[in-house]
Amino acid sequence: MTDKKEDKPLERPRDNTPPEELLKILLANVRSYHPSDDLSMIEKAYEVAKEQHKDQKRKSGEPYIIHPLCVAIILSDLEMDKETIAAGLLHDVVEDTGMSLKQVEEMFNPDVAVLVDGVTKLTQLNLNTDKVELQAENLRKMFVSMAKDIRVIIIKLADRLHNLRTLEYQSPEKRKEKARESLEIYSPLADRLGISKIKIEMDDLSLKYLEPEVYYDLAEKVHFKREVREERIDKIVQEVREHIEESGIRANIKGRIKHFFSIYKKMVNQNKTIDQIYDLFAIRIIVDTVKDCYAVLGFIHKLYTPIPGRFKDYIAMPKPNMYQSLHTTVIGKDGVPFEIQIRTFEMHRTAEFGIAAHWKYKEEGGSENKATENEMTKMKWLSEILEWQKDESDSKEFMKMVKSDLSLFNESVYCFTPTGDVKNLPAGSTPIDFAYSIHSAVGNKMVGAKVNDKLVPIEYVLHNG
């Protein structure tokens, strides 16, 4: 099957690519998902940004226009609408040049001006300040800006990602500061909005500057015997493909070596060295229907030996960011364990693009205005954050709630009640938390706990599987 755009990583043009070449990449990207649209707004935004930034240089020595062009290319990889891409090109003109917001509106339209204004205000916020009150207030402003138009934070995420790509030109202190801020705020935000394309690269780049020794050691060991691993992946993909094709199910099957940060997290959580982590690669199977997902799972468990306790059904129980997939870890025929993810094409699109998919071009032109149920769920989380800010006057408590929610949401623990209901609890939850999630009366009367038919202490930390 042919590669789809969502299967590919974000475009990363080589260093020192001339602006004219970057513009060609940008326009080709947009034409790939919307060939019939008029791109004059994007071309005009480029010319305006180039003129406004003409005397400015990046710390790398490159012309400043390289940065907004690369931000726009990231946005085009997310298949954003032309207003968002134009705003990506113009996102620094009000902050860094003599151009006013009124001029942006007059030259383009109110939509573009609102987006540029939103990103400008976000850029002025210092999320790294040691003053808790100021940091809390800045986070509040960021969430308010997101609530007005979610595209503002998508542009900001693209802006931050490109800045991380060029962090080597900053001072050591600035590198660590920006990497930590990205890992604590921006990467979890991308995850919350379901934009894994940005989150994954942001995590790896943050690790590179926060833990350089760990990062380069990982890079060396992952690349060691890379050819052997890739041969193993190719062999497994072929085995799986042959069995699925026999069933008549249409499937896109790919293998990949896991990202550095996910390997690093596994090492930390399991207290292991990289040499003790065996499932360094994963196979992804994408099919047409939910029925096909479960049928393929059956084939996989016949073909390979599943590892008990390592199956997760995120189709029946989606993550809070509406990620859906079947995850299973199996033992290959050579005795090496590996993970398999099974999902539909629509689930895959949601996993890769998240809320950004809402702003994808439609053939009639412009953006789609009706949010899907998944998008409404993501926005519901944002509404809850804004409610917290109204109710919580204590800045320290507000910061604690927001950071806890951002860092823990994707580590949710799913537990079944005796009647078969599912309870979604934060990571670190205990049987007491589970009991109170059912009813306060259950929690008040609790004297012991049994997990998977085994008695455990009431302070036992619950885990998936």
**Tokens 């500061």 map to which residue?**
177
Q: With 0-12 CB in 10 A as exposed, 13-18 as middle and 19+ as buried, what is 16?
A: exposed
Active site residue 227: no
Neighbours of 51 (CB within 10 A): 12
Write the single-letter amino acid at 349. R
Q: How far apart are CA 366 and CA 458, in angstroms?
A: 54
CB 340 within 8 A of CB 279: no
The Cα–Cα gap between 353 and 374 comes to 12
Q: Among 290, 317, 315, which residue's Cα sits nearest to residue 413?
A: 317
Contact 12, 75 (CB under 8 A): no
User: Which residues on adjacent β-strands are paired with residue 454?
Assistant: 451
Give the chain's length. 465
Distance between CA atoms of 292 and 298, rounded to whole angstroms? 10
> How crowded is residue 275: how many other Cβ atoms within 10 Å of its Cβ?
8
Task: Write 459-463 long-range contacts (CB < 8 A, 24+).
Answer: 459/430, 459/432, 460/430, 460/431, 461/428, 461/429, 461/430, 462/413, 462/415, 462/425, 462/429, 462/430, 462/431, 462/433, 462/434, 463/413
Of 461, 420, 456, nearest in space to 438 by CA: 420
Catalytic residue list contains 230: no
Annotated catalytic residue, options 7, 43, 96, 239: 96
Rounded-to-5 percentages of helix, strand, coil across the chain? 60, 10, 30
Residue tagged active-site, from 95, 220, 234, 421:
95
- Residue 240's CB is within 10 A of a number of other CB atoms, namely 21
Q: Are the beta carbons of 158 and 71 closer than 8 angstroms?
A: yes
- Rounded Cα–Cα distance for residues 186 and 135 (Å): 14
Distance from C-alpha of 13 to C-alpha of 28, rounded to nearest angstrom: 13
Q: What is the number of other CB atoms lying within 10 angstroms of the CB of residue 339?
A: 18
Buried b (16+ CB within 10 A) or exposed e, 177-200: ebbebbbbbbbbbbbbbbbbbbbb
- Active site amino acids: 95-96
